[in-house]
Structure 1
């Protein structure tokens, strides 16, 4: 496989996708670049909220925050121009990201050729159109660019001391300084970017209360916490109040502190959204709920995850996104979640015993 990226490229810019989950799925690309260009300076460009996610990664030399929109984009372009990058790799497929890369003046601009943006790129990758995860798509792009197959697609994030300190302030009920500390929190993530991707709030409450009390004799109930972004504040407040949990949204949770909290989480129950992928990187036991979004768009091999699909008998030739009624997320029962939690708890406990014994 012949590399597209020049051997003497030492100053490399990577434009990240906007969504949290997609940014997590981009980390194998950053690791792959660092492994194949150990002398290169790798800078990532992305939305400001993604910086805490990238903090601590040894392959990222610097993070440039920007959204490629409005008047602020002028300053973002000037900053990039001043650093004289040898090459830029575009992970987003948007026309805007290609146009932005073009005006930065970077001569080598590589990305996927789609949506009429090919003329803005100096090196165009013909991505095969198929039902695949973003992680797989990014891996194909990186393999083509470097001339070396990217075979290790596992997501990797790091929890920094700053993350742990922020989490301890945010959640004093659950000290999180030590990454070896016992996992003893049930974390709910009830939001999503679309209403039809959200499991009902009442179901989250019922499942959390049952799991909190499902403890060995003499053990106290597990603490419940609810995570969400500013736009999900009302939803988080409702679920926290009815479940007796802690409203992390009201306390100002950010992605950095969320990483540290997930490192102490015994079980995450989440819709198909960003924190699911953060949890995968941190080996957090997770139950992920899928309604009318096909689970094949995202990785399906996270080691400590149980995926519950609203219509498990949908044939492989059909895509859940095209069957909103049949795949309504409300069809997932609380009983299904409780059963999955029980089996996941047993398998994770066995994994931990094996890890400790070795």
Structure 2
């Protein structure tokens, strides 16, 4: 009888394949969906297929069973390769696929797997590829995280209370990273600065403002760490120069997983609206999030410890990569002294 019960349980267990987003911030917010799925069925198995560079994020989400690296280049159709990859997952026993991407090409792979329930928003005319198609009412689902979670519940069901993302960082790995760079473990409070924004300069607070914050933190006896990808190296280097080399410049020196673990050692973070901003929020850091061309009502940091700096000018949010009016007032009018006062008032 015990064997029969175990077999019955195995047949009832949900195994869900999530087609994940390609942006760091979106993947962090997707953890709220994973948490809701686990709240509904604690024994469900969640695998996430996404670009390879997102796997360090998934490794730090306890809800995720495994991350599946997708080999496709950004924007390419790769029809045969997507079908072939989908067929390779055919015998994995998935009971549902949830699509967090809206493109037609991204729906090819789950259709090829033969998963019986394929859930997603209407997107780019994906009829036939998806069979649980949901209309997207942006007024009812204003935030990205709302839309992700809505795909994890039954259609027309009210949204549940949405849990905040929470990344499980490794302090041991963070200390090992510092040791490998011949940097001692911090003995003073650490301020993390994240001056990058891959989307464009209309989301980047001026570098000289970041440098002023760095100098003020240094005068308060804090260490200042600069975080960023290889693309952000010119920005972190310039902030360090403007702050009289008072910072530890980690720009381009760490992989994503290591950056997450190192950020877990920070006491506070100041960041543009970027993927690392969402990482800081998911690490439950005291966070000042600076918004320019984007909308904090659409992609806010999911943390009670976050303070949003957003002017909401008449021209905001424009969602442009560069300021269409040429003045960038939405960022330049958020003065560094305002951030400094807010930062040290809260700590």
CA contact (8 A) 1:33 1:146 kept: no
CA contact (8 A) 1:127 1:141 kept: no
Q: Which residue matches 2:49?
A: 45
Shift, 1:231, TM fit: 1.6
Q: Indicate yes or no: 2:195 matched with 1:190.
A: yes
Q: Any stretches of 5+ residues in structure 1 without a counterpart?
A: 1-6, 177-181, 216-220, 346-358
Shift, 1:124, TM fit: 0.6
Secondary structure, in 3 states, of the residue corresponding to 1:340? helix
Q: Indicate yes or no: 2:107 matched with 1:98.
A: yes
Deviations 1:194-250 (A, max 9, x none): 12111111111122111221x2xxxxx322221111122222222233322122124
Normalization by structure 1: what TM-score? 0.81
Q: Which residue matches 1:304?
A: 305
Q: Indicate yes or no: 2:142 matched with 1:141.
A: no
Q: Could you say if the C-alpha distance between residues 120 and 256 of structure 1 is closer, same or farther in structure 2, counting changes exceeding 3 Å?
A: same
Q: Any stretches of 5+ residues in structure 2 without a counterpart?
A: 1-10
Q: Which moved more, 1:63-72 or 1:45-54?
A: 63-72
Shift, 1:192, TM fit: 0.5
CA contact (8 A) 1:292 1:324 kept: no
Shift, 1:132, TM fit: 1.8
Secondary structure, in 3 states, of the residue corresponding to 1:58? coil
Q: Indicate yes or no: 2:103 matched with 1:127.
A: no
CA contact (8 A) 1:291 1:329 kept: yes
Q: Which residue matches 1:288?
A: 289
Q: Which residue matches 1:348?
A: none
Shift, 1:78, TM fit: 4.1
Shift, 1:114, TM fit: 2.4
CA contact (8 A) 2:15 2:96 kept: yes
How many residues align? The count is 324
Q: Structure 1: how far apart are the matches of 2:314 and 2:148? A: 27
Shift, 1:151, TM fit: 1.2
Q: Structure 1: how far apart are the matches of 2:213 and 2:39? A: 43
Q: Could you say if the C-alpha distance between residues 76 and 212 of structure 1 is closer, same or farther in structure 2, counting changes exceeding 3 Å?
A: farther
Q: Which residue matches 2:89?
A: 80
CA contact (8 A) 2:143 2:298 kept: yes
Q: Structure 2: how far apart are the matches of 1:160 and 1:145? A: 37
Q: Which moved more, 1:131-140 or 1:323-332?
A: 323-332
Instruction: Please show how residues 167-178 of structure 1 align to structure 2 within 5 Å.
Output: 167-169=177-179, 172-175=182-185
Shift, 1:142, TM fit: 1.7
CA contact (8 A) 2:55 2:67 kept: yes
Picking from 8, 17, 39, the partner of 2:21 is 17
Q: Indicate yes or no: 2:341 matched with 1:339.
A: yes
Picking from 113, 117, 123, the partner of 2:122 is 113
Shift, 1:300, TM fit: 5.6
Q: Structure 1: how far apart are the matches of 2:58 and 2:172? A: 13
Normalization by structure 2: what TM-score? 0.83
Q: Which residue matches 1:354?
A: none
CA contact (8 A) 1:139 1:153 kept: no
Q: Structure 2: how far apart are the matches of 1:230 and 1:73? A: 29
Secondary structure, in 3 states, of the residue corresponding to 2:205? coil
Shift, 1:10, TM fit: 2.5
CA contact (8 A) 2:121 2:133 kept: yes
Q: Structure 2: how far apart are the matches of 1:192 and 1:312? A: 19
Q: Could you say if the C-alpha distance between residues 12 and 55 of structure 1 is closer, same or farther in structure 2, counting changes exceeding 3 Å?
A: same
Q: Could you say if the C-alpha distance between residues 312 and 343 of structure 1 is closer, same or farther in structure 2, counting changes exceeding 3 Å?
A: farther
CA-based RMSD = 2.8
Deviations 1:93-130 (A, max 9, x none): 22222223223332321111123224421101112123
Shift, 1:273, TM fit: 0.3
